[in-house]
Amino acid sequence: MVRHALLQLKPEKGRIGRNLEHLQQTLLGLRDEGVDVAVVPEAYPTGYFLQGGVRELALEAAELEDRLGAWHAAQYREPLDLVIGFYERDGGSYYNAAAYLELGGRGLVHLHRKIFLPTYGVFDEERFLDRGHELASFATRFGRAALLICEDFWHTVTATTVALQGAEIIYVPSASPARGFAGGAPANVERWATLARAVSGEHGLYVALASLVGSEAGKLMSGGSLIAGPEGEVLARAPEFEEAVLLADVDPGRIPPVRYDNPMLADLKAGLPLIFPELRRLVEEL
């Protein structure tokens, strides 16, 4: 079993030091829980709605790695894998990014830059950020994983791509303002649960969604973090609108028998050469 902690946290806008301290104290409080992987929401170190403030507050990936690595070596010490969303500065380019860090080990294992930047409704990302251009699964201590950030996951072709690359778990840092109050949970929270069940069930893998909470720029972040299993079931779910730590055990050994009984991914691999010419034609027409 691989114990996961999904950290549904509330950042203070622009206060990187304070937010990282809050993260570190939360992690220290989990030392006796045997956590292997902790997952932190999208843009947590700064808050999500920065707009032009991204240029002043974005971090280099190496800087984030150094700050968290130094804290880990001094105070935590036990091996810990950490997924964290943040605004990244790389030269003159700025990205909504997520890092997979192996603290006490290899350090930065993988960096994903958000591909789909929402610029509609309350969102304005593409005015201030560059798009990522890569999708890749990668090896961790616990098997193959992939990172997708918020709207990346709403386009199911991204999850399909990393599943075909061998991902056994998809980590999704998110910042999702609550919307659609027709009774019960906000509509976006239910939409996340529907997507997570559909993706995990179709591809026989785990989905771990960590979502921000708190109020930013007059918008209420919904929370509702969850983890879904390879048969398309929600294994655990956090409440809406409040900070929470969601603990869940992931069993990579479940994946082979589930995929054997429901070989959707194998069928997709077999059929991909049949549909690839049409996909290539569509790309050439863009």
- Across the range 193-221, mean pLDDT stands at 96
Q: Does a structural domain hold residue 82?
A: yes
Work out the pLDDT band at 77, boundaries 50, 70, 90. Answer: confident
Tokens of 64: 């984030």
Task: Tell me if 170 is assigned to some domain.
Answer: yes
Tell me what pLDDT residue 121 has. 85
Is residue 107 in a domain? yes
> Domain for residue 201, yes or no?
yes
Query: 27: domain range?
Result: 2-261
What tokens does 224 get?
A: 């509702």
Q: Within 10 Å of residue 161's Cβ, how many Cβ atoms?
A: 16
Q: Is 256 contained in some domain?
A: yes
Domain annotation covers residue 285: no
Separation CA 245–CA 268 (nearest Å): 36
Amino acid at 210: A
What is the 8-class DSSP label of residue 254? G
Please give the tally of structural domains in the chain: 1
Angle between helices 264-285 and 156-164 (to 10 degrees): 120
Which CATH number goes with the domain that contains 64? 3.60.110.10
Q: Is 37 domain-assigned?
A: yes
Give the Cα separation of 28 and 168 in Å (integer). 27
Average pLDDT over residues 34-50: 97
Can you give the pLDDT at residue 158?
98
| Lowest model confidence (mean pLDDT) among 17-31, 178-192, 216-230 | 178-192
Give the pLDDT band of residue 181 (cuts 50, 70, 90): confident
Mean pLDDT for 178-186 is 79
Of 156, 157, 135, 137, the residue nearest 146 (C-alpha)? 137
pLDDT at 211 over 90: yes
pLDDT per position as a tens digit, 251-267: 999 999 999 999 999 99
- Residue at 277 is within a domain: no
